[in-house]
């Protein structure tokens, strides 16, 4: 892995971390009760919601910066 690709990966990670609060608000997912676990289907549905919310959060930031 070159230094450029490593630096680009680090920047993407930092961007993701900075957008997490907005992403989770956009996803609108309910919290799980302690001692209760999600099944595989629920986890996949939540992961999809987070992915879509992250894309929306990134687009919001792009639109605001214009």
pLDDT digits (tens, 9 = 90+) for 48-62: 999 999 999 999 999
Tell how many helices (H) and how many strands (E) occur in the chain.
2, 0
Q: What would the two tokens of residue 34 be?
A: 């302690």
Q: What is the DSSP letter of 66?
A: -
Burial bucket for residue 23 (CB in 10 Å: 0-12, 13-18, 19+): buried
Q: Is the pLDDT of residue 1 over 60?
A: no
Q: What is the DSSP letter of 10?
A: H
pLDDT digits (tens, 9 = 90+) for 6-46: 899 999 999 999 999 999 999 999 888 888 999 999 999 99
pTM for this prediction: 0.80
């Amino acid at each position: 892995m070159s230094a450029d690709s490593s630096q680009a990966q680090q920047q993407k990670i930092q961007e993701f971390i900075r957008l997490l609060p907005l992403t989770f608000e956009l996803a609108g997912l309910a919290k799980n009760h302690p001692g209760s676990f999600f099944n595989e289907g629920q986890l996949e549905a939540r992961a999809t919601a987070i992915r879509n919310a992250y894309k929306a959060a990134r687009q919001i930031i792009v639109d605001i910066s214009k």
